[in-house]
Every structure is written in structure tokens, then in C-alpha cells.
Amino acid sequence: MYQTPSLGRSDDSAVDSGSVPGTPSDMSMFAQAYSIPADSMDMGALPERVGTPQPSRYHMALPDILHPETASSVPVRTICCIGAGYVGGPTAAVIALHNPHIRVVVVDRDQKRIDAWKSRHLPIHEPGLEDVVRIARDGAAVTRRRSDSPTGDTMDPARQPNLFFSTACIETIKVADMCLISVNTPTKTRGVGAGRATDMAALEGACRDIAMHAKAGCVLVEKSTVPCKTGQLIKDIMEAHRPGVVFPVLSNPEFLSEGTAIRDLMQPDRVVIGCESTISGHRAAAALANLYAAWVPRSRIAPIGIWSSELCKLAANAMLAQRISSINSISAICERTDADVGEIAKSIGLDPRIGPQFLKAGLGFGGSCFRKDIASLTYLAESLGLPEVAAYWQQVLTMNDFQRDRFARHVIATLNNSLRGKKVAILGYAFKKNTGDARESPALDVIRILLEEGPKSITIYDPLCSEADIKRELSVLERDYAVSMPDGPVEVVSDPYTACANSNAVLILTDWDMFKNSKPVIRSSKPSTIAETYDGATPTDVLRLKANLDHVTINKPPTPPRTPKLSPLSSELNTRLLPEPPCPADCIVCRSSSTAGISAETDTTTPIDWAHISKTVREPRWVFDGRGVLDARAMVGMGFRLETLGRASMY
């Protein structure tokens, strides 16, 4: 039977044991797979280095990764997280929150990014992230806990800060027991494999720094999404700079979804740890497992081979993207057959073999992961001599591009095949709701096609994406067109009503809750007449519905109070939060918020007033819903003409 190859020689020297955090005691199928009877251990018979293939007897003698004591010789007191981005920052914060006895330092060469992590204006938006960072970075105050016991009230001690952010990369690496490599691994833009292969420059640079400055035995953990066999690349770099020194390499892929990253970290469905099949590899994996076991049941920690771990992240994202492209392909058929893709998704999602997740038709997937990971997978397949496999997964990307292209061209066709002298309003730029990430947004491709028609104005509103981030993403189009004002037609505004005013068409490109509308309330002496007769599916129905508008009133949602902020922290910890660090007098974020007259904490759930927008847009009031968030009857009742992906046109 094939065993995971070894990446390095064993290191069985004893070291003072570190403290092991408490953990749920349940064991899992993974524990059974790695458990070994004590009488089967024959350490004297073990070779210095494991080759490939390995004898099954030796494999069974490897220590149990899920046993807390396996890592007793691998103490972890200081963790260095290299990369303060969307993965490194939140991951380090949650690890620090649950392991207060461990010092966690996030390093990055970008001084502005590090300054933002130290301030009250974090560089990324994730629900719950601010509270986690505040507890781990700033500590918690002493608090009195009331008690009816004879001994009286008890005092909870102050929690000391154990999460730090720094640009002192080398100094931090020197003292680290474990290095989490969370650097950017984008797609190459030039050279061999451009457009598909992974650019490993940042990862190679981080590994060289570790090789030259880390202490012997420092555990290296791949957090970045990397091609299969990257572990061997890391080992080669370490061996080239520090020959003979043992550096265990682990793969610990992240399965975070932007917008729910903190929830995914606090309550993961699985924690995958890939390691080499050596004693030192298993001990290093056990040390990482102990960190997670502080809050994750060991039954959810899955130790697997390092190559499988590296590939499983690409495979998982490819499978999810495949579902999105599959339902989007069905949406194109629906628009030609008068079927409703929403109804189809609901019906097939009831099949337990399929399930309802990732069956929402729309503009396709975006962000920094899916497209990049599938491109990497296709390149990997081709490099392994598997062109059929590469072509299969390439079609997922082809369908994704087709979906947004046909949406944009339908907008143009509906507006008489010309955008000259016309204004287009775009609501939402982020690739999904609850994130301010503007990278790889479907909106970019839609805007690119719209610019070909020379519109008078394209006005963009997004509640969380900053103007600077949007303009940076749009800058890739400037080689073909002047994009941003004053030379180009694109303007980013901070108010949805300003964006929509005097527009010839409104495009919904992000599924923000604030863009949703409510269904109309039918009030009539015969309440079933309109509700049952007019479903808005044909132009005739629309005309008949408009003729009966005196019987229809739109239930405009009252402006609710600001949605309460949900915190991932316990109520006890929330009461112990220390005041946030003050901003300097010249804080750019505070100054821009004050100038714009908006709150630093943006509300993204209070619905916008579509009735008001209907009075400011130009006839015939076109709205193109690329995310399926609008109710057709309500929009028609307010005088809009609505086109929705996955539904036949009503006009």
C-alpha cells in the first residue's frame, strides 16, 4: 500500500514539554486510524529516514497525532504568522483568543496594513473579527463575578494581550516555535503558465527568510493555497540554506468563506492537518492539533497525508465552483423556456444527495479563490499529462465567464444596443455580501463590457468596498479605456440614491441584504383575484397588473433600528473589552467618514427605499437583477421593468 513520502529525517530528541490546552475528550475515526497499541512500538527498530514505499509495520508505529501527549517534545510558546491578509489576520486572531498562554505575532512588510491591524480600523471587514482582535490584541479588564457562596464574589483576572502585529519579520521568525505561512499566492501574469499557474514568489521568499533565521526544529505550516507537492519545494529551500537541520513541514489548508470567516474559524466542520509520515512529522502535527483542540473537538481534526492536504483545498473549491457553474448553465436554459431557475434550484436542492448549498443562480463566482484555484488545478492536470481532466475543469471557468458576459450584453441589448449618452447605476461591487473584498469581482467583467459601448456615466455604490479598492481593481481596464472620472465615465459614490438618480438602468451586482425588497400586500374585495391571476410571468400579465394598481399597495418596510451587532465572544468576555486604541489626529479613515457624514460602522441590512428610487430613475425604469434578490411583483407595482437572471424576459 502506498504511503505518504517522507520530506525529511526524523528528529526524536527530547525537549521540555510545553503546556497542552484543555480539549474535548471525544476521539474520532481519524483517531482510530492513527492509534497504536503500546506493545507494537519498537523504537529501536525504526530507521533514521523513511523512504517510499514504507513498510506497513513502520507506518503503524508512528505516534498518534490526536493524542495530546504526542506533542510533549514540541513545545509551542511563540507563533509567527507571515502575512496579515484575509487568511493570516483572522486565523492568528482566533488562535490567540483560544490559546492565551501562547504569544502570536502577525508579521507583514506592508506598514500601512500593520498599522491598520493595530488601530480601530481593521484592514478587512469580517463580522465578529473586531471583537476577537480586541480581546486578543488589547487584553481584557479585571471583573468581579457575583457569587452566593460563603466565600463571596470572585475576581476574574485581567487577560494579558497575546496577539501582536509587526513589520519586524526577521526578529519574529528567530524566536518562533511555529511559523504559519499565509502569504499571497496569486495566479502568474507572465511567463510559463501565465493565467493559470500559481505565483510562488512570496511563499519562496518567506521560506528563505525562515531557513536563514529560524531556530532548528521550527514547525512550518502551509496556510496559503498552494499546488500539490509544495511541501517538497519548502523542504528543498530549507535544505539548501540549512543543510541537515530538521524543519517539519505541515499543510493546514483554510476553508474560510469571506463574510463568515470568523464563524468558520470558531465552529469549523473540519480541520485538515497534512503531515509527512515520520515521527517528527507526526509530533509536529500533534502540536498543531493541540492548538486547535483548545476549542475544536478532536473528532473534527482530520490528520491526512501532506500531498492529500495540499490537493484537498483545490478540490473543495473546484467542487463548489462546479455547482455554481452548473446552476448558471441551467439559468440560461430557463430564460429561453419560461422556466424559473429559482424553482428548479429549490426542487433539486430537496434531494438529500444534492442539497441546497451553492445552487443560487447569479453572475457566477468571484473573489480571490475559486477562479485562481481552478486555474491552478487545470495547470496541474496538464503538467501531469491529463488534458481531459484539465478540459473538464476549464469548462467551469468558461461557464462562469459566459454568465456575466451574457448578463452585460443583455443589458446593452435591452437599452437599444447603445449606451451613448446614458447613465448606468451599479449597486454592489464586492463579489459577495458581508465582505469589503473587491478582488476578482464579477462587476469588473460587467463594467468592462459596458465600457465598450461608451456610456455617459457608470456610477458605483457598495456599502463596504472602499473607493480606492474599487478604482485599483478597475485600473486593469485603463489600457483600453479611460475609466475613472474626470477622464473616464466611472464614478464611485457613497450613497445608493445618488448612484441611481437619473440613471437609465440599475444593475444589482452584489446580493447585499439592503438591496432586497419586500413582497406586495394584496388588498382587494376579491383577495385571490390578482394574487392568483397575475403572476408577472408574461407582458400581458404586467399590463393587467398595472391596470389594477388601485387594488395593490406596496408594503414598504419601515426603517428598522440598526441591526444589532452579533459578537462571537461570550457575554462575559464582551463585558471585559477594553477601550479601543485612539486614532491619531490625522487618521484618514476618521477624516473621510466625517467628511462624508457617514458612520464608521456601516449598516448593510436596512433596506433601501425602492419607491423613492422609482421617482428618480428615468423611464422606463429598467432594473437588472444579477443576484436574484428582488421580488418581481413588488418592483412591477412600483413601476419598474425588472429583468432577472434565470427568468424569461417579461418584455
Q: How far apart are CA 617 and CA 636, in angstroms?
A: 14
Question: Do 366 and 431 meet the contact criterion of CB atoms below 8 Å apart?
Answer: yes
DSSP state for residue 459 in the 8-state scheme = E
Q: How far apart are CA 484 and CA 478, in angstroms?
A: 9
Distance of CA 366 to CAs 281, 363, 395, 400, Å?
36, 9, 16, 9
439 marked as part of a ligand binding site: yes
256 marked as part of a ligand binding site: yes
313 marked as part of a ligand binding site: yes
The C-alpha cell 434531494 sits at 351
Distance of CA 261 to CAs 36, 254, 256, 300, 414, Å?
35, 10, 5, 17, 39
323 marked as part of a ligand binding site: no
DSSP assignment of 550-607 equals GGEE--PPP-PPPPPPP-SS-HHHHTTBPPPPPPPTT-HHHHHHHHHT--SS----SP
E strands in 125-238: 143-145, 154-156, 163-166, 178-181, 219-222
Q: How far apart are CA 137 and CA 577, in angstroms?
A: 11
Helices 201-213/230-241 angle, 10° precision: 40
89 marked as part of a ligand binding site: no
Reported residue count of the chain is 651
257 marked as part of a ligand binding site: yes
Instruction: Please give the grid coordinates belonging to residue 512.
Output: 447585499
Buried b (16+ CB within 10 A) or exposed e, 467-505: bebbbebbeebeeebebbeeebbbbbbbebeebbbebbb
363 marked as part of a ligand binding site: no
265 marked as part of a ligand binding site: no
255 marked as part of a ligand binding site: yes
Instruction: Please give the grid coordinates belonging to residue 9.
Output: 529525517
DSSP state for residue 195 in the 8-state scheme = T
Q: How far apart are CA 339 and CA 327, in angstroms?
A: 13
Q: How far apart are CA 633 and CA 555, in angstroms?
A: 11
Instruction: Please give the grid coordinates belonging to residue 355.
Output: 442539497
DSSP state for residue 506 in the 8-state scheme = E
Question: Do 496 and 530 meet the contact criterion of CB atoms below 8 Å apart?
Answer: no
Q: How far apart are CA 123 and CA 119, in angstroms?
A: 9
**Strand, helix or coil for residue 291:** helix
Q: Identify which of 302, 235, 250 has the alpha carbon closest to the alpha carbon of residue 49.
A: 235
Q: Is 334 a catalytic residue?
A: no
362 marked as part of a ligand binding site: yes
Instruction: Please give the grid coordinates belonging to residue 49.
Output: 529516514
188 marked as part of a ligand binding site: no
Instruction: Please give the grid coordinates belonging to residue 547.
Output: 391596470
Q: How far apart are CA 252 and CA 91, in angstroms?
A: 11
Q: How far apart are CA 458 and CA 502, in angstroms?
A: 11
Give every CB contact of residue 386 below 8 A, 6+ residues apart in sequence.
Answer: none
**Strand, helix or coil for residue 369:** coil
Q: How far apart are CA 310 and CA 274, in angstroms?
A: 8
Q: Check 169, 218, 228, 369 and give the catalytic one.
A: 369
Between strands 143-145 and 490-493, the pairing is: unpaired
Cα torsion angle, 356, 360, 366, 370, sign: positive
427 marked as part of a ligand binding site: no
* Residues of the chain by 3-state class (helix, strand, coil), percent to 5: 40, 10, 50
372 marked as part of a ligand binding site: yes
432 marked as part of a ligand binding site: yes
List, as residue ranges, the binding site. Answer: 108, 113, 185, 225, 255-258, 313, 358-362, 366, 372, 432, 439
The set of catalytic residues is: 369
List, as residue ranges, the binding site for NAD(+). Answer: 108, 113, 185, 225, 258, 372, 439
List, as residue ranges, the binding site for substrate. Answer: 255-258, 313, 358-362, 366, 432
